[in-house]
Amino acid sequence: MKYYKNLSLLIIGMSFLSGCENYLSKDPIGLLTPDQVDMQPTTTTVQYAVSSSYQLLSSTLNIIGEWGWNDGTVTRGDFILQDIASDDVQKKWNPDGDQAWMDEFNNFSFIASNGGFNGQWAYNYEGVSRVNTAIDYLTNEEMMAKLNFNKTEQNRLLGEAYFLRAFYYFDLVTNFGGVPLLLKPLTSFNEAYEVAVRATAEEVWTQIDKDLSDAKGLLPDARYSHQQEKWRVSKGAVIALQAKVALFNERWQEVITFVEELENSGYYNLNNNYFDSFDVNKQFQEQEVIFCYHHESAQTPRKGNGLCALLGWGFVAPEASFIAAFEDNDPRLLYTVDVESRNINKILGTLDGEFKGDDDAPSNKIYIRYADVLLWKSEALLKTGKLQDAIGIINRIRQRARNSMTIDGTQPPGGTLPDRNVNEANTSVVLNWLVHERRVELGFESHRFRDLKRWNIAKDVLGAKGFQNVHNLYPIPQREIDKSGGSIVQNEGY
């Protein structure tokens, strides 16, 4: 049976031209490598089906295609669609014409044919496609019995796969709104055509909730689901993503409940030093990282952080307003970006510029960490009228920051990052404190643009750069509209 598992979108398939004979005579545009999946897999095949599903979360170069800059596929584009589009990041330290399509995110001049949309869409749907193949194997009890597959491992791998599918769809729905909902491997061109229609955003969110609920019951109660491969999805990662989904849907009490479940697990805490989450020498030895992609150097196939190579060419630089947002002596600024040396320390995972220009660097890509989760809870408490508790969490984040040793090994001077007034009763004031704290705590971690949109302040903050309300959703990639023959409908305004 043929499974089109590398389907970069959509799904892809198909060039719906004048008739069946016409489009079947052509290779589907965007289908990278249609190949036949072994329907008599070994245990190793099943295990690899899950492991390979993580790969689309990496910053490794050329996971899809080969130097497809204009297609947006050289590396995963979160730093473009989320960071450059925000007021935190600009494309380069010295603006130039290199990869001008990236600049269109900084000034909101993009159109639906911009390669950045194609890249993000392709990465996510390739991830979904691989996950669906893994789920298809792992839910085939006849196959599992024939392989004498360990039941505990089967459950764990299936839990990982459900989480990953939810994660890819979270990125799709928050970027594009309703998208095609692909839940099984495709076995024919007809199936590819049938799924090339948009589900509603509500239907996508419902599926995300279901996948996370299913994952939660399958993963072990432990900080790490696999002691030798600590990068794998854990139950804590599932709970954290459940909280984030609730946050984006303004289900405030659920946010609080999920975060408290995570707190009560005892598996996570704020690190004593702010930079420990990013330090390449402390990976999986610190307390704060909940989910990341584990980059490793000198692996075959490659698993390094290719984004570090772009830093060597001057890509990824702070906006002036980002630098200005930090209070005096806040050590988080230099831990995030060393302006004098032009080093983005959070991405490099070092404080001395090592790995800058290295396309196989070992620094991890962090997607969820505990400080982020605590600030979700603070927001939910604020929205439910528990201002003192909300402020208490903000102060906890500030306390960790001011107690962090600075980059030169000294303590910040007294009076740095004083506590916010816990008796403040003005909700708007507290919300502004939260908005500020998330920006300086989580800068360059691909959260800011989504935050601004869900707070409904993106136009206020980014309007001078060209943001309009239409930009609350990105356009569906134009090539996917074209390939579907119009069955995929474009977002309004594009």
pLDDT of 332-348, one tens digit each?
999 999 999 999 999 99
SS3 12: strand
pLDDT in tens, 242-285: 999 999 999 999 999 999 999 999 999 999 999 999 999 999 99
| Mean pLDDT along residues 134-149 | 97
**CATH fold of 1-219, please?**
1.25.40
pLDDT in tens, 338-375: 999 999 999 999 999 999 999 999 999 999 999 999 99
Please classify residue 263 by burial: count the beta carbons closer than 10 Å to its beta carbon, then call 0-12 exposed, 13-18 middle and 19+ buried.
Answer: middle
Inter-residue contact 277 to 286 (CB < 8 Å): yes
Interstrand relation of 315-318 and 365-369 (parallel, antiparallel or unpaired): unpaired
| Mean pLDDT along residues 407-422 | 96
pTM tops 0.85: yes
pLDDT in tens, 12-31: 333 322 233 332 323 332 33
- Please tell me which residue, 8 or 416, carries the higher pLDDT value: 416
Question: Within 10 A of 467 (CB to CB), how many other CB atoms are there?
Answer: 22
pLDDT in tens, 163-206: 999 999 999 999 999 999 999 998 777 888 888 999 999 999 99
Beta-ladder partners of 361: 305
SS3 177: coil
Q: What is the pLDDT of residue 31?
A: 33
Residue 35 confidence class, pLDDT cut points 50, 70, 90: low
Which of 180-189, 420-429, 434-443, 455-464 bottoms out in mean pLDDT, i.e. has the lowest? 180-189
| Mean pLDDT along residues 83-107 | 97
SS3 91: strand
pLDDT in tens, 380-412: 999 999 999 999 999 999 999 999 999 999 999
Question: Within 10 A of 139 (CB to CB), how many other CB atoms are there?
Answer: 13
Percent of the chain with pLDDT over 90: 88
Residue 38 confidence class, pLDDT cut points 50, 70, 90: low
Residues 461 and 465: their CA atoms lie apart, in Å, by 9
User: In this model, does residue 1 exceed pLDDT 50?
Assistant: no
